[in-house]
Amino acid sequence: MASRAAEWALGDEIEIVARAVDVPFGTVPGQAADAVIEGRAVRLRRAVRGDAERFREILGHPAVARWWGDAHSEAAEACDPPENIRAYAIEYEGTVVGLIQSCEEPTPEYRSAGLDIAVDAHRHGRGIGGDALHTLARHLFEVAGHHRLTIDPAADNAGAIRLYRRLGFRPVGLMRQYERRPDGTLRDGLLMDLLADELVAPGRS
């Protein structure tokens, strides 16, 4: 799973009510109860292979690509993720506008989930990222039973860090030379975490 997040702003008055819809989505057989998760303005549905082209388009935009890896490989993995990763297409007003993923640590003593997100650069500033993150975080806490979530933006991604703070994430520490970029340079990451009782709805921080 990628470890980079795109920069966006929150809407001022968004209050999210997340709920899992226990019905299959589209024509894909065997999907789980979390196949669709509704937020206030966004709808998260499990990614399918048909999303790959749209994901590549989103991840390939310079404003997003600077925080992510290769758009083709990242999109391919999101559409066919490993067992411990769940990837969702973010739908807004009937259109796929991003992707969001959770990576779960199943070991009982250390059980938690990490989050990652990218939003279409042309849709930044509409509260989509905050809505999607709050929706999935609430689902992971209330439905999946997690008590702690993490996220690890690049240390210089000020917009993403500001967003995560507003949702309740707290900095844990700097991860030095955490990521090797395609050009060979190394970039620091910031580890942030969130406990179940610390989640803040966008516009309420």
* Nearest residue to 59 (alpha-carbon basis) of 72, 77, 43, 49: 72
Domains and CATH numbers, the chain: 19-147 (3.40.630.30)
Six-digit token pair at 54? Answer: 């749209």
* Nearest residue to 154 (alpha-carbon basis) of 122, 183, 186: 186
* Alpha-carbon gap, residue 147 to 198, rounded angstroms: 10
The Cα diameter of the chain in Å comes to 45
DSSP sequence for the chain? -----------TT-----EEE-S--TT-TT--GGGEEE-SSEEEEE--GGGHHHHHHHHHSHHHHTTSS-HHHHHHHHHS--TTEEEEEEEETTEEEEEEEEEEE--GGG-EEEEEEEE-GGGTTSSHHHHHHHHHHHHHHHTS--SEEEE--BTT-HHHHHHHHHHT-EEEEEEEEEEE-TTS-EEEEEEEEEEGGG---TT--
Q: Tokens 């709920």 map to which residue?
A: 19
Q: Yes or no: say if 198 and 162 are a contact pair by the CB < 8 Å rule.
A: no
* Alpha-carbon gap, residue 163 to 156, rounded angstroms: 13
Q: What is the pLDDT along the chain (205 residues), one digit of tens a residue?
A: 444 444 333 333 333 334 443 333 333 333 455 789 999 999 999 999 999 999 999 999 999 999 998 999 999 999 999 999 999 999 999 999 999 999 999 899 999 999 999 999 999 999 999 999 999 999 999 999 999 999 999 999 999 999 999 999 999 999 999 999 888 899 999 999 999 999 999 875 4
The neighbouring-strand residues paired with 113 are 104, 149
Six-digit token pair at 166? Answer: 């507003």
* Alpha-carbon gap, residue 199 to 169, rounded angstroms: 8
Q: How many CB atoms lie within 10 A of CB 41?
A: 19
Res 32: pLDDT: 56
